[in-house]
């Protein structure tokens, strides 16, 4: 005689029988365990949700970027068509964007080889820009703030630039003075302060995103680091 | 019914991820409503409403508003269309100037520069559709020469006038032109 023969006919008789398959075994409530699980899930979700939002907003890189080499532009940011992330970034920083009828700002955080820009290095910025009536190139730190430099100026403008006969130009970005077009970088910056290059094209036909396809932007090459 | 430990773990993880996504979206959407200093508020610290206030030169550590171009001089004017139409009038003798109109949320509403303005002088009228129909009944003589910008609702906002300083020697002239710029009633 085996054991199954001894078991009663009705399932209710051995309701808590451990030999029942797991899914149909009755559930015994553990209120404390359930509460702990729900609390853990809510806490984990809150930490995950808030920190991921913080990281994305703090990076200050709106979505929908138009990328040309190392340069990024956000033509839609600061308009009514902006995505919620750029709205959050722009309102949190109280940034007044360059509107489409004024011009377009392009930001570089990395050089053409993909390395993060470092204010202690020397960079060569050379090539062409899209046609614009006027453009300025400004060096700011990793948070977009202006920095003290040796000569006091932090930018270069297109109307006072030395150019090759074909209209191309070569700019040296460095802390120490350079001959030719010199863009001064932060005088006493550490590598961790970060560096961004902002090229603002004023009255340019390329202020809409679609027109940015196929335009040439200057390349940023790292020449050397201390 | 009792779930297997692995199934419970999967359900727990899925619940955490879904809830995290909801919290993430709520946080991102709630930021614009909870900022302490919007650009609209910051502009008010530089002077009274309905007049152009010259912002201090953009220099390291002394930036009036974030992300301004140090090659430019700026003047800002805050306005509320509920108080009546706003007329912008300026004549700035520089190779490049531009004006951007922003609403209280900091979104660009309208913008132009000295080439698209079609004249050396900036004369622009901002008003609601309702105010324009009232104005049409008794139009001022120069209405045809103005750039008229209609908004559907009486918005609050500010205008930022940027003027390029080609050389530091011209800085005084640009300052004067920006201070003489008018922003106010007709």
Least confident of A117-126, A177-186, B112-121: B112-121
Of the candidates A44, A41, A45, the residue with the CA atom closest to the CA atom of residue A33: A41
- Of residues B58, B40, B61, the one with CA closest to residue B49: B40
Fold designation for A62-224: Jelly Rolls (2.60.120)
Chain A residues close to B16, C-beta within 8 Å: 41, 44-45, 48
The alpha carbon of residue A101 is apart from the nearest alpha carbon of chain B, in Å, by 5
Contact B84, B173 (CB under 8 A): no
CATH number of the domain at B39-184, out of 1.20.80, 1.10.3470, 3.90.660, 2.60.40?
A: 2.60.40
Which of B25, B56, B66 would you mutate first to test chain A, the one with the most A CBs within 10 A? B66
Q: Does B36 touch chain A (CB under 8 A)?
A: no
| A162 and B CB contact within 8 Å | no
Optimal mutation site among B108, B113, B153, B160, interface A, most CBs of chain A within 10 A = B108
Handedness of CA A155, A160, A115, A177 (dihedral sign): negative
Sheet holding B108-113, edge to edge: B53-54, B72-80, B156-164, B97-103, B108-113
A86: closest CA of chain B, how far (Å): 10
Higher pLDDT, B173 or A4: B173
Mutation choice for A interface testing from B6, B9, B20 by most A CBs within 10 A: B20
The span from the CA of B144 to the CA of A36, in Å, is: 72
Q: What distance in Å separates the CA atoms of residue A157 and residue A183, rounded to the nearest whole number?
A: 10
What pLDDT is stored for residue A208 in this prediction?
Answer: 60
How far is Cα B46 from Cα B57, in angstroms, rounded to an integer?
13
DSSP structure string for A85-136: HHHHHHHHTT-----TTTEEEEEESB-TTSPBP-TTSEEEEEE-----SEEE
Interface of B with A in 122-151 (CB under 8 A): none
Of the candidates A79, A84, A145, the beta carbon closest to that of B107 is on A79
Distance from CA of B14 to the nearest CA of A (A): 10
**φ/ψ (deg, to 5) at B13:** -65, -45
What is the per-residue DSSP string for chain B?
----HHHHHHHHHHHHHHHHHHHHHHHHHHHHHH-SS-HHHHHHTTS-SSS-EEPPP--TT--SSTT--TTEEEEEEEEEGGG--EEEEEE--SS-EEEEEEETTS-EEEEEETTTTSSSEEEEEEEEHHHHHHHHHS--TTGGGSEEEEESS--EEEEEEEEE-SSGGGHHHHHHHHHH-EEE--
The confidence band for A79, taking pLDDT boundaries of 50, 70 and 90, is confident
Locate the domains of chain B by residue range: 1-34, 39-184
Q: Cα–Cα distance between A221 and A224 in angstroms, integer?
A: 9
Mean pLDDT of B97-103: 94
Instruction: Find all residues with CB under 8 Å of B119, minimum gap 6, and list them.
Output: none
Other beta carbons within 10 angstroms of residue A113's beta carbon come to 10
- Please give the pLDDT value at position A10: 57
Cα–Cα distance measured from residue A197 to residue A107, given in angstroms and rounded to the nearest whole number: 6
B1 pLDDT band, cuts 50/70/90, is low
CB environment A129-143: b (16+ within 10 A), e (fewer): bbebbbbbbbbbbbe
Q: Which of A70, A72, A79 has the alpha carbon at shortest distance from A98? A: A79
From chain A, the residues in CB contact with B160 under 8 A are 96
Q: Out of A78, A147, A157, whose CB is closest to B60? A: A147
In sequence order, the 6+-apart residues with CB closer than 8 A to the CB of B50 are: B77, B78, B79, B83, B86, B183, B184, B185
Residue A90 has pLDDT above 50, yes or no: yes
In angstroms, the CA B118 to CA B114 distance is 7
A210 pLDDT higher than 70: no
Q: Does A33 touch chain B (CB under 8 A)?
A: no
Examine the pLDDT at A41 and tell me if it is beyond 50: yes
Question: What does the block give as tokens for B125?
Answer: 């009228």
Of B162, B65, B71, the closest CA to residue B112 belongs to: B162
* pLDDT tens-digit series, residues A122-176: 999 999 888 889 999 999 998 888 999 999 889 999 998 999 888 899 999 999 9
Domain positions in chain A are 1-58, 62-224
In sequence order, which residues have a C-beta less than 8 Å from that of residue A218 and are 6 or more positions away?
A125, A126, A127, A128, A129, A169, A171, A199
Band (pLDDT 50/70/90 cuts) for residue B115 is: confident
Measured in angstroms, the CA of A223 and the nearest CA of chain B are apart by 26
Specify the residue for token string 């531009």.
B98
Above 70 in pLDDT, residue A13?
no
């Amino acid at each position: 005689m085996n054991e199954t023969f001894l078991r009663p006919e009705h399932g209710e008789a051995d309701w808590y029988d451990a030999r029942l398959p797991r899914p149909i075994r009755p559930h015994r409530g553990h209120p404390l365990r359930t509460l702990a699980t729900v609390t853990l899930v809510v806490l984990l979700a809150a930490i995950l949700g808030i920190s991921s939002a913080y990281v994305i907003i703090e990076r200050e890189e709106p979505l929908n970027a138009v990328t040309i080499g190392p340069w990024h532009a956000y033509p839609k940011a600061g308009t009514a068509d902006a995505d919620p992330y750029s709205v959050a970034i722009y309102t949190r920083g109280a940034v007044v964007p360059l509107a489409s009828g004024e011009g377009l700002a392009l930001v570089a955080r990395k050089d053409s080889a993909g390395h993060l820009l470092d204010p202690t290095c020397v960079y060569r910025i050379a090539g062409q820009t899209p046609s614009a009536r006027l453009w300025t190139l400004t060096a700011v730190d990793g948070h977009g703030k202006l920095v003290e430099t040796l000569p006091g100026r932090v930018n270069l403008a297109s109307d006072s630039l030395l150019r090759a006969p074909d209209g191309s130009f070569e700019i040296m970005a460095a802390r120490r003075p350079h001959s030719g077009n010199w863009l001064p970088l932060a005088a006493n910056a550490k590598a961790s302060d970060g560096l961004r290059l902002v090229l603002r094209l004023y009255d340019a036909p390329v202020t809409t995103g679609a027109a940015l396809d196929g335009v040439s932007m200057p390349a940023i090459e790292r020449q050397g680091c201390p | 019914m009792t779930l297997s430990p692995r199934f419970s773990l999967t359900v727990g993880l899925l619940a955490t991820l879904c809830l995290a996504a909801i919290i993430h979206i709520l946080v991102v959407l709630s930021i614009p409503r909870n900022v302490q200093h919007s650009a609209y508020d910051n502009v008010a610290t530089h002077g009274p409403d309905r007049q152009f206030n010259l912002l201090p030169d953009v220099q390291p550590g002394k930036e009036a508003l974030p992300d301004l171009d140090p090659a430019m001089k700026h003047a800002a004017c805050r306005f509320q269309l509920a108080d009546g139409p706003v007329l912008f009038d300026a004549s700035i003798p520089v190779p490049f100037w531009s004006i951007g109109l922003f609403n209280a949320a900091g979104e660009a509403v309208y913008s132009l520069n000295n080439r698209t303005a079609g004249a050396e002088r900036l004369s622009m009228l901002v008003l609601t559709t309702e105010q324009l129909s009232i104005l049409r009944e008794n139009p001022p003589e120069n209405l045809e020469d103005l750039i008229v910008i209609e908004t559907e609702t009486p918005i609050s906002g500010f205008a930022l006038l940027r003027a390029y300083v080609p050389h530091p020697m011209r800085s005084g002239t640009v300052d004067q032109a920006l201070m003489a710029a008018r922003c106010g009633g007709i």
